A = this chain, B = another copy of it.
Amino acid sequence: MILSELLKSKRETKNLLLREVASMIDTDTALISKIEKGDRKPTREQIDKLAIALDIEHSKLLKLWLSEKVYEDVKGEDLAIEAIKLTLKRLKTEK
């Protein structure tokens, strides 16, 4: 499940309007709409607020957010998987 989909489905499950979520996030509906459509990435602060507003486990949301940031960096690259494995190795050794 992709971040944008999760946000949208959670909002719908809770029967919230964009307008309501927007006010909890301190922004307007257009931005929330874009985030749910994947046109905009939420900032980290917005992730924090969204977790609360939509009652999603914060670490789950943050993990998805980080993961998509990484994905954007390497998508379409032949070496994507290898590069990520290398990062993983580095993270593990310095942990």
Which residues does A use to contact B, with CB under 8 Å? 59, 62-64, 66-71, 73-75, 77-88, 90-92, 95
Contacts of A82 in B (CB 8 A): 63
Chain B neighbourhood of A68, CB < 8 A: 87
Contacts of A67 in B (CB 8 A): 83-84, 86-87, 90
Query: What distance in Å separates the Cβ of A38 from its nearest Cβ neighbour in chain B?
Result: 14
Specify the main secondary structure of chain A where it touches its partner: helix
Query: Given A63-B79, A79-B59, A79-B62: A84 and B88 within 8 A (CB)?
Result: yes
Report the Cα distance A68→B71, complex, angstroms.
13
In the complex, A80→B34 CA distance in Å?
26
Set of chain B residues within 8 Å of A74, measured between Cβ atoms: 66, 69-70, 87, 91
